[in-house]
Amino acid sequence: MKVQVSRISDEGFFQNFSDKDPWAKKKFEEAFQEHWKKGEPLQGFLKIQKTGANLSFTGELTLDYHGTCDRCLVPFVIPMKVQSQRWMAPLKESQRQRDIEASEDVELSAEDVNFSFYKSNEIDLGEMLVEQTFLDLPMVFLCQPACKGLCKVCGGNLNEKDCQCEEKQRMKESPFRILGKLDVKR
């Protein structure tokens, strides 16, 4: 959804949306492909307040993200509630030139991440929501916090059954394996 900055009234801009809105459906299908299924719920709201030329953007959306567990490779669904807040100011030509000339690495604070500039009279709110959704994804996808993963030998899912392969493999590779053949009586 693209919004013209000049058309945002003093009262602000407010919009509810869902997967029934063509712009939301298209934006999330393109961005998340097989990770968000057509026909599954996607809903939220967008709110923009304008103070002079500066904007305050607030948004929230809920969706089911389809991921694959990084340990056991089982597909599972992550219910997500993404909240976004961003402040925006118009980018002036002098700032743009300064940004181009600055080649130093700069560490950003949490406040810096929620602040950005807009270059034209049009802002793509869908892009901002997709970006925030990507940022809210977990670094590691786990079907459950205590996921046991896969057996290193046979590849079986250790969440479904206990596997003795690893112990057998260790015994085969151990330099002490010969001791297992000794018949020692105490």
Does the reported pTM lie above 0.85? no
Q: Distance (Å, rounded) from C-alpha 134 to C-alpha 126?
A: 12
Which residue has tokens 């270059």? Answer: 119
Beta carbons within 8 Å of 69's beta carbon, 6+ residues apart: 75, 76, 141, 142, 143, 147
- For residues 81 and 64, the answer to whether their CB atoms sit within 8 Å is no
End-to-end CA distance of the chain: give it in Å, rounded: 80
Render each residue's pLDDT in the chain as its tens digit; 186 residues: 788 888 888 888 898 988 888 888 888 888 888 887 766 788 999 999 988 888 899 989 999 989 999 999 999 998 999 998 888 888 876 554 555 455 566 666 666 667 888 888 888 888 888 888 888 888 999 999 999 998 887 888 999 988 877 566 655 666 666 666 666 665
Q: How far apart are CA 184 and CA 32, in angstroms?
A: 62
User: Which among 88, 84, 83, 86 has a CA at the least distance from the CA of 51?
Assistant: 88
> How far is it, in rounded angstroms, from Cα 69 to Cα 147?
9
